Amino acid sequence: MGRIAKLNPRVLDLSYALDEFLLARQADGLAPSTLEVYRRHVETFLKASPNLTTYEALRKAVIRYFSQPCSPAYHNIKLRHLKAFFNWCVAEGYLPANPTARIKKAKEDLSNIRHVPLEAIKKLLQQPPHKQTYAGLRDYCLLLVQIDTGQGRENCSR
């Protein structure tokens, strides 16, 4: 079977484009879990916007989709995945333009940094295996970096 027909701005079938997008990303070496996240985000959007017969309908559906209340972090995650998919659709000629192009990232509130008791940190750092394996040492070092940068942020705000 030959390549699927390019999507016309008057008639859209993004489910075919999604399958090809995921196949292209798989060929790029993305992990199966990453591919599944892309699939989930794009399919969630497509299910929420069932009557996408024109580019104009798609653009309006994107605006409605991102107008729905959600946390700033989740808004940005959805935007990142849909933007990547639609950029690919534009590059492949499936869409005339990216309908997410004018959607802005939401500002995330970073003021909710919580204090972690010293005993909890000590308990976390005592979990095995720390230095017996490469992965254990790597994870231990990552924990130290996270603790150190979190502590640094706390000190900066005082």
The reported pLDDT for the residue numbered 52 is 85
pLDDT band for 152, please (50, 70, 90 cuts): very low
Residues 20 and 85 in one domain: yes
pLDDT at 2 over 70: no
Torsion angle defined by CA atoms of residues 48, 73, 94 and 39, in that order, rounded to the nearest 10 degrees: -70
Residue 47 is assigned to a structural domain of this protein: yes
The larger pLDDT score, comparing residue 5 to residue 86, is at 86
Number of domains comprising the chain: 2
Helix ranges (DSSP H) in 6-133 = 14-27, 32-48, 55-67, 72-91, 118-125
Which residue segment(s) compose the domain that 69 sits in?
14-91
Q: Between helices 55-67 and 32-48, what is the axis angle to 10°?
A: 100
58, 12 in Cβ contact below 8 A? yes
Residue 106 is assigned to a structural domain of this protein: no
The reported pLDDT for the residue numbered 3 is 45
| % of the chain residues with pLDDT over 70 | 81
**In residues, how long is the chain?**
158
Residues 19 and 85 in one domain: yes
Residue 86 is assigned to a structural domain of this protein: yes
Per-residue model confidence as pLDDT tens digits over 127-137 = 766 677 888 88
Residues 145 and 84 in one domain: no
Report helix, strand and coil shares of the chain as percent, to nearest 5.
60, 0, 40
